């Protein structure tokens, strides 16, 4: 009887104890921005992009790796460029804002230059490679190749991808507005090389840092990227 009473007392004490005292509880992790996230699922690699305000054109980018139940910072902080009009949870085509939220990465990485050693499938960009920005096209927000010099069967908003050798030297596709694709919600959101100024909706890093990120990302780790202000990120 005494043993049963003692066991019950231990269970009651554990139930009453604060969460941070329990082994493996999220509250036991350091109180970083990554460890406050609730929507990381099975991911073990994480990129956080923290903008000071929604109107900011630069943000703080950090890489995180999950060990056990906690996220530990691996690299950063680095300064990244975001959209000319900041970040927004209500991104629309042509608004020059970077979407805020939690996103995965596309299955293929791209670049005008040869594969730099990434772990994803890699497509080397050539003349006639487009990312479709026409909301009326059935190929909206998708990669499409058209023979070089041939007029594409969709409205042209910008030049083909091969005409951006600096920004698109290497890039990863941020998995925004893809499942499902919603016409007009925004297209072609990439993590690409910096041109030294804000983007038209993408996210950019100086080439050495970009290469470090692209080579680090592993499909098997289900990596995520989280973009937003501190107040927004805390809600994810």
pLDDT band at 97 (very low <50, low <70, confident <90, very high): very high
Q: What is the pLDDT of residue 27?
A: 62
Give the model confidence (pLDDT) of 113-150 as tens digits: 999 999 999 999 999 999 999 999 999 999 999 999 99
Cα 60 from Cα 64, distance rounded (Å): 13
Give the model confidence (pLDDT) of 188-220 as tens digits: 999 999 999 999 999 999 999 999 999 999 999
Order of strands across the sheet that contains 171-174: 101-103, 224-229, 45-51, 58-67, 70-81, 203-205, 190-193, 171-174, 105-111, 121-124
pTM (predicted TM-score):
0.87
Q: Assess contact for 191 and 59: CB atoms under 8 A.
A: no
The stretch 14-36 carries a mean pLDDT of: 61
Q: Assess contact for 172 and 217: CB atoms under 8 A.
A: yes
Domain limits, the chain: 1-29, 31-233
Q: State yes or no: pLDDT of 112 exceeds 70.
A: yes
């Amino acid at each position: 009887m005494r043993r049963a009473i003692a066991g019950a007392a231990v269970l009651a004490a554990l139930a009453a104890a604060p969460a941070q005292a329990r082994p493996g509880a999220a509250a036991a992790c350091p109180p970083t921005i990554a460890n406050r996230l609730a929507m990381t699922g099975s991911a073990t690699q994480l990129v956080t992009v923290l903008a000071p305000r929604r109107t900011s054109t630069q943000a703080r980018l950090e890489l995180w790796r999950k060990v056990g139940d906690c996220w530990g910072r691996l690299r950063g902080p680095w300064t990244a460029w975001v959209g000319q009009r900041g970040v927004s949870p209500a991104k629309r085509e042509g608004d020059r804002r970077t979407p805020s939220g939690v996103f995965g990465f596309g299955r293929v990485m791209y670049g005008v230059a040869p594969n730099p050693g990434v772990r994803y499938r890699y497509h080397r960009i050539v003349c006639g490679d487009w990312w479709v920005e026409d909301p009326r096209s059935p190929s909206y927000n998708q990669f499409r190749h058209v023979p070089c010099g041939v007029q594409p069967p969709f409205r042209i908003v910008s030049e083909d991808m091969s005409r951006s050798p600096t920004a698109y030297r290497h890039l990863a596709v941020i998995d925004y507005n893809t499942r499902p694709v919603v016409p007009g919600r925004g297209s072609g959101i990439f993590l690409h090389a910096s041109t030294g100024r804000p983007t038209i909706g993408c996210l950019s890093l100086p080439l050495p840092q970009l290469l470090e990120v692209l080579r680090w990302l592993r499909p098997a780790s289900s990596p995520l990227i989280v973009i937003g202000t501190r107040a927004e990120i805390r809600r994810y």
